[in-house]
Structure 1
């Protein structure tokens, strides 16, 4: 299988999953507006409105499509190699998504840690035989 098509499968899975997660986070941010309710309060007052919000519905749909894409990836690749690769790509992508789109605070130390984790995941994914 050519390298470009292998990477495409991972990028599609990652794109769907991360887009869904960002929409879920955006829906939660809009609904809670900085509030930090207790679990009972969250379940009583926030869960149903969240479940019916456009952001959350779209996020769940995209995450579901991401799961379907992931199942396809797993039909083509060993889990022990696919998951570290996807995890590494996800860590790097989420760092930038959180910083740029969600305005979450990050530092170069965070980025360095993510690079070290990604390197470790890559090393784990290498074949030893």
Structure 2
């Protein structure tokens, strides 16, 4: 199930959640979570993503983030599109992936990659109380 969410204030700080399709436990393998971190670093350096906090769970990601260029939706779109292709290819090319056939089947449909659930969940952070409810380590990636 995807989340329908629209960012109204593209420059505001948001609590964001991206979920792997069918809640598949892809990030239980360090190699795939490292690909996520590499791309988040890229988005920080090149696309102006500001990451205040993050956590990678086995099948989803939480971020507290904003965009310097007030284009958070665009950054999220590009991040999800790139990482979907990159991780799917990494699974295909990984000779040590014991779940390869199952993962490739679960993360595709009619020859199209379906790595992420449609949309994402996001909430604009308005209060410190809301921020403190989020069980995330406050650390910058860089």
TM-score by length of 1: 0.32
From the two aligned structures, give the one with the greater helix fraction. Answer: 1
Of structures 1 and 2, the one with the larger relative CO (CA 8 A, separation 6+) is 2
Larger Rg: 1
The alignment's TM-score, normalised by the length of structure 2, stands at 0.30
